[in-house]
Amino acid sequence: MNITIRQLKVFLEVATHQNFTQAAKVLHLTQPAVSMQIKQLEEVTGTSLLTKAGRKIQLTDAGHEMLILSRNVLQQIDQTEQHLKQITEGHLGRLKLVVASTVSAVATKMLATFNELYPGMHISFDVTNREGLIEQLENSEADIVLMGLPPENMNLNTIAFMDNPLVVIASQSHPLAKQQQSVSINQLLEHGFVVRESGSGTRLAMERFFNEHNKTLITNMEMNSNDAIKQSVEAGLGLGVASIHTLEHELKEKRLKIINAEGFPLRRSWYLVQRKDKRLSPLAEKFRDYVLQQAGKIALTI
């Protein structure tokens, strides 16, 4: 059946008021126009929907079915219009956010406060390493990526949103943890490092630092996550390098200590990254703007 929304609206008013004249007033139409819409609806359905009983109009059995259909359809349309309006205004929608493991603590805090403002959002939150970040950018899977140094060979929009100082960490029982004066680069290398996997942002920053000082970073222990690095350092397997923003709990509980080391902290930034050819939803745009406005404030609480 080729029933129009206009026909359903007219029928609903006629059935509700049981009067063509009153329905016409509500709809701001003439009575002949209302009668025409009902006649066309009956022609489409192939059956009589209304019958006269004196001055009133009653519904036939088919009319009762059409009344149920009209209410359901028009209610669904109204709900859809409201949802579309909320999506357009950025109050509802989906967001695929992918972050480096070192950014996860900051990203989680930002999501929590953002969710208070926009509780209707549906978010997919993925924490992965640098290789995974680049893969999702290449495949245009992520709306927004929060990461360290972005790749240079891709068509991306990148904005630095927060300083990310990298510091040397050790267990509380490590010999260097008791040293008051600054620890030299040679001393650091004597004790050895637990490092991230090859290609990670933190690993690249470490290698660049030691290369600039004509030193070689040698390690026989690699970990594929920031948490694994912290746990290994706490267990006494070596020194580590981590973002200061990821050490809140370990420092508060005195499970790790920041070493006063020559050349550290390494000054880096975290970046908000998106593909230039990927259009963001209104909600994703609001989250991007929120990150750029609030990241500094949130960092002070970590």
- Three-state DSSP class for residue 113: helix
Cis ω for the linkage preceding 265 (within 30 of 0): yes
| Closest listed residue to residue 235, CA positions, set 183, 170, 175 | 170
| Closest listed residue to residue 273, CA positions, set 103, 73, 66 | 103
Hey, which residues does 156 pair with through a beta bridge? 275
Judge whether 5-88 and 166-259 match in fold.
no
Q: Where are the domains positioned within the chain?
A: 5-88, 95-162+269-299, 166-259
Q: Rounded to an integer, what distance in angstroms lies between the CA atom of residue 166 and that of residue 185?
A: 15
What are the E-state strand segments in the chain?
Answer: 50-53, 56-59, 93-100, 121-128, 144-147, 156-163, 166-171, 195-196, 222-223, 240-243, 256-259, 269-275
Given this structure, which CATH class describes domain 95-162+269-299? alpha beta
Q: Rounded to an integer, what distance in angstroms lies between the CA atom of residue 133 and that of residue 119?
A: 26
Give the pLDDT of residue 300. 46
Say which residues have a Cβ less than 8 Å from residue 140's Cβ, sequence separation at least 6: 275, 277, 278
Q: How far is CA 89 from CA 83, 102, 253, 265, in A?
A: 10, 32, 43, 42
Q: Rounded to an integer, what distance in angstroms lies between the CA atom of residue 136 and that of residue 142?
A: 6
Give, for all 302 residues of the chain, the pLDDT tens digit.
688 989 889 988 888 888 888 889 888 999 899 889 999 988 888 889 898 877 778 889 888 889 888 888 888 887 667 667 666 665 657 788 999 888 888 888 888 888 888 887 788 899 988 889 999 999 888 999 999 889 888 899 999 998 889 999 999 999 998 888 899 999 999 888 999 988 888 888 999 999 999 998 878 789 888 889 999 999 999 999 999 988 988 999 999 999 999 999 998 899 999 999 888 888 888 889 899 888 766 554 44
Q: Rounded to an integer, what distance in angstroms lies between the CA atom of residue 7 and that of residue 37?
A: 6
Q: Rounded to an integer, what distance in angstroms lies between the CA atom of residue 98 and that of residue 232?
A: 25
| Closest listed residue to residue 102, CA positions, set 223, 236, 7 | 223
- Three-state DSSP class for residue 149: coil
Hey, which residues does 210 pair with through a beta bridge? none
Provide the whole-model pTM: 0.64
Q: Which amino acid is at 171?
A: S
What CATH number labels 166-259?
A: 3.40.190.10
Q: Rounded to an integer, what distance in angstroms lies between the CA atom of residue 14 and that of residue 23?
A: 5
DSSP string over 12-67: HHHHHHT-HHHHHHHHT--HHHHHHHHHHHHHHHTS--EEEETTEEEE-HHHHHHH
- Phi, psi for residue 172 in degrees, rounded to 5: -65, -25
| 18: exposed, middle or buried (Cβ count in 10 Å: 0-12, 13-18, 19+) | middle
For the CA atoms of 282, 283, 289, 294, the dihedral, rounded to the nearest 10 degrees, stands at 160
Given this structure, which CATH class describes domain 5-88? mainly alpha
Q: How far is CA 253 from CA 69, 131, 164, 250, in A?
A: 63, 32, 22, 5
